[in-house]
Structure 1
Amino acid sequence: MENTLNDTEAVVETSSAAETPSTACSRKEILPAFCITVVAAVALYVLMMYLQPMLMNNNFIYDFGTMMSGCMEGSIEYYVAWFFADLTEGSFIAALPASIGMIIMGFVAAALERKKSKHAGTGVAGNGHIFLAMFLTTCAALILGQVIYGSLFSSGWIPTFAVVLTVQVFVIFYGVNWKKILTSLIVGTIITFPVCYWLLYGIVSPLGLPLFIAVSVGVAIVVPLCSLIFRLMPWMDIPAPAPGSNPTDQNKSKFFVHQILGDIGQLTIWGSSWATVGMYIGGIIGWVMNPLHPAYGSGNFPLLIMVQVVTGALAILIWYPKWKKNGMAFTFAGIVFASAIVSTYPPSWAIVIPTIIIGAVVFAPLVDWVLKVFRFKGTYHPICLIQLSIFTVCAAWSFAVMYLIMPMLA
């Protein structure tokens, strides 16, 4: 089973303490790669934090606050900038150079995947044959969302990027003939934004929760809702899923590194290790140009990279037996959770370290359990159940951070 959100058959299993010795010891295959990856991520974080004070006067690109103000004032220039930021907002980076790097490397990865190159990494999660349609439909959805709902910029940050998570998975799940693409584009765009916007300003923001929870809950509502609507449309049939290979069959260190980056790439649905490399390189370029450009202008971009990589590395190490057995484990969900927390609350290690551990440990078995409870049969895209798992844990941990940890820190 390929590591893609297009899987319509989820393997649901209960972890057992009575693993066979060979399975239990299989983590040794990736332990060197784990150690090197974590050390490299921490070293990069230390280096970037050392350099960041020296870069704070750099103004070679707009900061996030300026872009936000420009959109509130109706600037076409900043509407375009917002469009590009939306492409990497799912990864909590929301930066123009990061999006450009991700786009370039995404097309490279798709081409390598189609050629079945040994250098493809995670490709684009098995979707190389429809990647152009995915990308163009996503761009159209972002533009349509701004046209329809752009007047709401006056209220501040708005979740226009949410269509990246819904429209794109509809294209993957239902297919790419022109009727299906137009239906996914129009229905997904029109419904997704108002649901997420209402949740954002009606519930999530007043409670002080991470803003991503509004999108997470919104996706959990919109995907099954749209699936019900699509059932009324005869042309929106669900094609049979393509068979996938087990990614752990390759060199184990290569699998480990590419899968971490591929899991990070799942935050924007592409699931591409090379697109993540392009996103990070572009993000770092944007950070050098202005440290307040990426990561919502928080100055936490170095921490965000480290948390994403370390959470992904720890999750794959812990759940490697599941990866090896099934060819899939929902380790990327913990990266979404950890990114949302560190993008919202103070960068204290008392928050960061437990967040990484929770993200790495909880989600692989939790998503399996949720799929089992809902008796998932592949009649709709599983992203809604994955998001259900993410926002439940994220909300619970956010309340613990706000009302237990932060008062102690104060």
Structure 2
Amino acid sequence: MRQIFLSQRQRAPLVILVCLTLLLAAALALGQWPDYAHLAASQDLLLSRIRWIIGDISEVAFYKHELPALGLLLGAALAHWAHVRGARWQGFAICYGTGLWPWLFASSMMGLLLSHALWGWTLASGLWQPTFVAFVSLPAAMVLMYGGGWRVAITGAVLGALLVTPASLLLVNYLCYPLRLPVVVGNVTGMALASAVAFLLCRCLPMGGRSSRPPSAPAVVHKPSYGPLWILRRVLADFSEAPFFGNELASLGLLAGALLAWVLAPAAPAYGSQLLPHIVAGQALASLLGVLIWRRQWIACGWYPTYIPIVSIVPAAVLTLGGDWQVVVASAVLGAVIAPPLAAAISQRLPDYMHGYIGNVLSMAISTLGILPVVGLLTGGNA
């Protein structure tokens, strides 16, 4: 009976993805595919709100569009299916080989939906709001810390909506907007502060499962060669690292969806900036440089946070300073050199009952604040 239950539970995310895909197909059949400006201005319409929620899934990569979001989830579902069956083409085992992707996805998605139910009214201001943060923060981290199960998944989702989302909202609206700071600083600082509070609370809750930080990377049966092919695969996997997937198939889905969205309507993804190619190029360069520079750390530790510039410094620099090649290269180089070791240093100093991702997001905030002005000076822009 338990085996039957597990197979049904594992099929649940696929059913959700099919429903989302059918919803998108219905929208296409109606001939409605607005650019970002139209989408942001029509949040009082049900279809626009649904698209905004789905787009939140790809928000962490600065793509903000339903196609890369659906591509990410479809690729992740395929990666999990391949991992469960031990397929050789699965790539890096999704969710670090824990097998917890269904629970991680369920908790993250519940946190996202609950956040919109509680805080979706903030979109009426007409300003961009960080409604996505619960999807890529505490809910997933709690599943990785305490294991699967509805108690953990629901607790993570509720705490994500009650703590992480309002913390990021407050910092973005009362710090970043008034001081004209990159909003990513408010997003990730809110994640870090709220998650620290949540993990402190969890010490008093009967969470069950393990209560200490899991290893940074799972044990591997076959030691990687860490050669050129591994480097390219690692760069690709970094694109889906922020939602805790870390898998090439998930990243391919994300990037394919982003490319398709840009081809169909260049002013739709990446907040209508039409800078999606520049952002993706900078992200790929930052990850490549990071993996090359910190390859010895990858070998020694099994995992290293080379993904950090992808979801913070590079896209923030491009959107703030423009898509000139100097901005792309400077932000990628400085992000690859500075952000990963800073994240590792912070994470190593966290108590065992807190997930190491808190150090990663703190590094994003500190590095973005420090690097963007330098990039502006080097390139003649204004950060």
Shared fold (TM-score, shorter chain, > 0.5): yes
Secondary structure of 1:160's match?
coil
Q: Is the 8 A contact 2:287 2:336 kept in 1?
A: yes
Give CA deviations for 1:135-177 in whole Å, capped at 9, x if unaligned. Answer: 2222222111111111111122111100012222222222222
Partner of residue 100, structure 2: 130
Q: Does 1:200 align with 2:200?
A: no
User: Which deviations, in whole Å up to 9, do the C-alpha atoms of 1:42-100 show, x marking residues without a partner?
Assistant: xxxxxxxxxxxxxxxxx9721111111111xx211111001110000011111111111
Letter matched to residue 129 of structure 1: G
**One-letter amino acid of the structure 1 residue matched with residue 354 of structure 2:** Y
Which letter does structure 2 place at the counterpart of 1:161?
F
SS of the residue aligned with 1:176?
coil
- 1:219 aligns with 191
Specify the SS of the correspondent of 2:359.
helix
2:166 match: secondary structure: helix
Q: Does the CA contact (< 8 Å) of 2:54 and 2:66 recur in 1?
A: yes
* 2:88 maps to 1:93: no
262, 273, 278: which one aligns with 1:287: 262
RMSD between superposed Cα atoms in Å: 2.2
Q: Is contact 1:97–1:285 with CA below 8 Å preserved after alignment?
A: yes
> Any idea what the Cα deviations from partners look like across 1:254-306, whole Å, max 9, x if unmatched?
32122111111112221121111011111111111100111111000011111
Counterpart of 1:183?
155
SS of residue matched to 1:238: coil
Name the structure 1 match of 2:294.
319
Whole-Å Cα distance in 2 between the matches of residues 96 and 135 of structure 1?
A: 16
Residue 393 in 1 paired to residue 363 in 2? no
1:333·1:390 contact (CA, 8 Å) conserved in 2?
A: yes
CA 172–246 in structure 1, closer or farther in 2 if over 3 Å, else same: same
**Count of residues in correspondence between the two structures:** 347
Partners in 2 of 1:220 and 1:247 — Cα distance? Answer: 34
> Is the Cα–Cα contact under 8 Å of residues 94 and 294 in structure 1 kept in the other structure?
yes
CA distance in structure 2 between the partners assigned to 1:253 and 1:67 by the alignment: 41
The equivalent residue for 1:63 is 35
Counterpart AA for 1:88: S
Deviation at 1:351, TM superposition (A): 2.3
The 1:371/1:146 distance shift into structure 2, 3 A limit, reads: closer
Unmatched runs of 5 consecutive residues or more in structure 2: 1-30
Please tell me the residue identity of whatever aligns with 1:80: I
User: Which residue pairs with 1:338 in the alignment?
Assistant: 314
The answer to whether the Cα contact below 8 Å between 1:61 and 1:286 also exists between their aligned partners in 2 is: no
**Which of the residues 282, 298, 304 maps onto 2:273?**
298
Task: Identify the match of residue 352 of structure 2 among 378, 383, 402.
Answer: 378
Whole-angstrom CA distance in 1 between matches of 2:220 and 2:156: 28
Contact 1:246-1:327 at 8 Å conserved across structures: no
Following superposition, the deviation at residue 406 of structure 1 comes to 6.7
Percent of residue pairs bearing the same amino acid type? 22
Once the 2 structures are TM-superposed, how far is the Cα of residue 405 of structure 1 from its aligned partner?
Answer: 5.0
Q: Distance in 2 between matches of 1:407 and 1:320?
A: 32
Q: Which structure would you say has the larger RCO, counting Cα contacts within 8 Å and 6 or more residues apart? A: 1
Larger deviation, residues 247-256 vs 341-350: 247-256
Q: CA deviation at 1:309?
A: 0.9
Query: Which of these residues, 327, 332, 337, is aligned with residue 351 of structure 1?
Result: 327
Residues 101 and 408 from structure 1, CA distance in 2 versus in 1: closer, same or farther, beyond 3 angstroms? Answer: closer
Q: Separation in 1 of the partners of 2:121 and 2:38?
A: 18
CA contact (8 A) 2:226 2:299 kept: no
- 408 and 335 in structure 1: CA distance in 2 versus 1, 3 angstrom threshold: closer
Question: Does the 8 Å CA contact 1:123/1:273 hold for their aligned counterparts?
Answer: no
Q: Deviations over 1:352-379 (max 9, x none)?
A: 221111111112322232234x3x3432
Following the alignment from structure 1 to structure 2, what is the Cα–Cα distance between the partners of residues 277 and 83? 21
Give the conservation status (yes or no) of the 8 Å contact 2:321–2:382: no
Moved more, 61-70 or 239-248: 239-248
What residue in structure 1 maps to residue 228 of structure 2?
253
**Structure 2 counterpart of 1:85, one-letter code:** G
Map Cα deviations across residues 165-205 of structure 1 (whole Å, 9 max, x no partner). Answer: 22222222222222121111111211111110110011112
Match of 2:23 in 1: none
Gaps of 5+ in 1: 1-58
Which secondary structure does the structure 1 equivalent of 2:282 belong to? Answer: helix
CA distance in 1 between partners of 2:52 and 2:368 (Å): 26
Distance in 1 between the 2:309 and 2:261 partners?
Answer: 26
How far 1:408 sits from its partner (Å)? 6.1
Aligned partner letter, 1:176: G
Q: TM-score, normalised by structure 2?
A: 0.84
Listed one character per residue, the Cα deviations across residues 94-134 of structure 1 (whole Å, up to 9, x for unaligned) are: 11111111111110111112222221112313256221122
Is the contact made by 2:68 and 2:261 (CA closer than 8 Å) also made in structure 1? yes
- 1:354-373 matches, within 5 Å, as 354-372=330-348
Alpha-carbon separation, structure 2, partners of 1:409 and 1:387: 24
8 Å Cα contact 2:139-2:160 kept in structure 1: yes
Deviations, residues 190-222 of structure 1 (Å, cap 9, x unaligned): 111111011001111222222111111111101
Q: Distance in 2 between matches of 1:281 and 1:395?
A: 30
TM-score (structure 1 length as normaliser): 0.79
Amino acid at match of 1:344: T
SS in 1 for 2:333: helix
In 2, Cα distance between equivalents of 1:312 and 1:247: 24
Task: Tell me how far apart the structure 2 counterparts of residues 251 and 368 of structure 1 sit (CA, whole Å).
Answer: 20
Is 1:166 the counterpart of 2:138 in the alignment? yes
